[in-house]
Copies of this chain bind each other. A is one copy, B any other.
Amino acid sequence: MGGIETKARSRGGRQARRALRTASSFEMLPALERGLPLCEPMDEEQIRRVDEASLAILEEVGVVFRDDIALADWRRAGADVRDNRVHLDRELVRELILTIPESFTYHARNPQKNVQLGGPHSIFVPMTGAPYLRDLDDVRRLPTLDDLAMFHKLAHMLPALHSSAHHIVEPMDMVVSHRHLDITYSSMKHCDKTFMGMTTSPKNAEDVMEMCAVLFGETYLEDHPVTTGNCNGNSPLVWDETMLGAMRAFCRRNQPVLCSPFVLGGANTPASTVPTVVQVNAEALSALAYTQVIRKGCPAIYGHYLSTVSMQSGAPMAGTPEISLMNFMIGQMARFYRVPWRTSNTLGGAKTFDAQAGYESATTMSAVLHAGANYIWHSAGWNEAGMHCSVAKFIVDAEQCAMGYRMAEGPRWDDFDEALAAVRDVGPGGHYLGHPHTQANFQRAFFMPRMFDNNSIEQWQAEGSVEITERALKYARKLLADYEEPKLDEAKDEALRDYIARRKKEIPAVDELNQVH
């Protein structure tokens, strides 16, 4: 399988090469089923040590839940609540997280695009939350709803992306207090893959749930995860009212949330990797446990947002060795608890789509694949510490996801004997290009990145010295020109639009920004 698009199998030779040049299918890759062994730096005793230390923090230090409903819930659940600080007994935590499903099917409106999540299955989800974009002309500017639609269309077409996410970019032309409605509709309409639900407030989360009920049917939701919502913690050891309220909106409808401590390593965690993992683990466990207080058996996802902080400038950093190490260890903890887990991909602080962006993104991609993350968020477009989503980078990152997918599947052994027969046929000093095994297998054998130019400098110059940003933007334009809308059922579409119109009348138009990563 080669290039950024999945290609139809063909019979090889000249015909295959022609097919490769012309045919394009935008068929989504199924959820990745990992075949490569994972990077697991901790032995069993070290995992126990992190577990014990985390549970000791939950018992002895406690976690602040800045939310009266949550505090009341915790009291009812038998926790030791002092003011707004909840001390969680280790037995209670262990018992609560036991009912979180180890894996589940994440349903799309097109059932062919349902994906398995958890265990050996991983999905790639685009970045979200950018207040700026670098557009089809690589100009950095404020995004509109049309720009968001563009990203949702690209997410629809790029095979290794498994979701349209939600607000890939913030549609700044929409009123803030109504924006979640426009965003959710765009995610549903332009792409028939899974999507994310806004958690910018409990009320907004309720609206997302209502819209999901319109799209999928109220009873369907009860048994089928159809969206995911992110809830960030305020590290160290605090969960706030907005996030907890949104969490309740999701969990009550049996929809999974990502329980994501927000790590600025060294600033809101200790200046040390393993102890940072302990704190993150305690925080994630406290929220995961709370999802089961809200609704026992509800799917939930162990999350985190990981950065380390430059002690020179205070800026968050990405692609650093400690982020890779923490990913490896957090993966082990999530598997120890048998809970699916979320990480972040392609993070970085570059201001343009330069070599820094490439190094940071590829380092992170590799780390999260070796770590075995299930829900690989921010997998396309992220740049400038999340301040902008780059169209060019979105395209290249999506191809990197396809390449990472191929690596993480592990080696194939299915043509071992056949290919070794070719070694005997060809013999010393021969070449394989004309051999029938090569002609039949080259397409799937070696990934051919469309976004990387591997020609000679003379060829490259003759073709206009086109750099990667321009190549990617050209391809984005081609994709958008080829885009075919995956039509929503007309009655559902109308019902969604009716719901949005009604809510826009009910909700006061307020322009105050609330960002979620």
Residues of A at under 8 Å CB distance from B?
2, 17, 20-21, 35-37, 39-42, 46, 49, 53, 57, 60-64, 85, 140, 234, 236-238, 265-275, 278-279, 308-313, 315-322, 324-325, 328-329, 348-363, 365-367, 370, 384-385, 387, 393, 396, 400, 403-404, 406-407, 410-413, 415-416, 419-420, 422-424, 426-433, 435, 437-438, 441-443, 445-449, 451-457, 460, 465, 467-469
Contacts and interface: CB of A to CB of B under 8 A. Distances in A.
Contacts of A445: 265-266, 271-273, 308, 322
A320 B451 CA distance: 12
Nearest to A422: B270
Contacts of A453: 349-351, 356
Contacts of A60: 424
Contacts of A413: 46, 274
A441 B424 CA distance: 58
Contact of A355 (B266, B393, B415, B454): B393
Given A39-B39, A320-B449, A448-B317, A274 B426 contact: no
A407 B433 CA distance: 39
Contacts of A384: 457
Contacts of A266: 432-433, 438, 442, 445-446
11 contacts: A57-B424, A270-B435, A272-B437, A320-B446, A320-B448, A321-B404, A350-B468, A354-B355, A354-B467, A357-B358, A387-B457
Contact of A357 (B64, B308, B355): B355
B271 A420 contact: no
A437 B271 CA distance: 7
Given A322-B445, A453-B349, A274 B416 contact: yes
